[in-house]
Amino acid sequence: MSFYTWLEKKVEWENEMIKEDEGIRYFFDTDSVLDDFFNEGLVSEEIFEEDDLEVLKPIFKEWAKTAKPFEVTSKDINARRRENARDLATQAAEMGYHNYSSDNGGTWYRD
């Protein structure tokens, strides 16, 4: 297994844990986490391009202890909930519903 494949599975698992714990879909992005890790300069470009799980995984785990790439605050969760509510309101308006309101329940009125 390559390091990138392992990281994709880790990101997917972290997203699932947030969905289970908070009841919302949250999107950590594999490429963003990978970019942050690479940009720390802990490994050379040659080693990084080899994509060797046995070499990169221990370095990543050590980096993750301080960088905390999968840490989410209540502020992040609330922002995501507000974003979801805005998306629902937009979708409701596009479908012809007006006076949309939601506190994770949602009410639609159609003219």
> What's the whole-number mean pLDDT along residues 80-89?
84
- Can you state the percent helix, strand and coil of the chain, rounding each to 5? 65, 10, 25
CA distances from 35 to 13, 17, 38, 64 (A): 19, 22, 5, 13
Beta carbons of 62 and 43 less than 8 angstroms apart: no
Q: What is the mean pLDDT of the chain?
A: 85
Neighbour-count burial of 33, counting CB atoms closer than 10 A to its CB (0-12 exposed, 13-18 middle, 19+ buried): buried
**Between 34 and 25, residue with greater pLDDT:** 34
Of 53-57, 64-68, 84-88, which range is least confident?
84-88
- The domain total for the chain is 1
- For residue 105, what are the domain limits? 3-110
User: Binning pLDDT at 50, 70 and 90, where does residue 64 land?
Assistant: very high
* Share above pLDDT 70 across residues of the chain, in percent, rounded to a whole number: 86
Q: Which helix (H) or strand (E) holds 49?
A: helix 45-50
User: Binning pLDDT at 50, 70 and 90, where does residue 7 land?
Assistant: very high
Beta carbons of 28 and 11 less than 8 angstroms apart: yes
- For the cut 60, the answer to whether the pLDDT of residue 87 exceeds it is yes
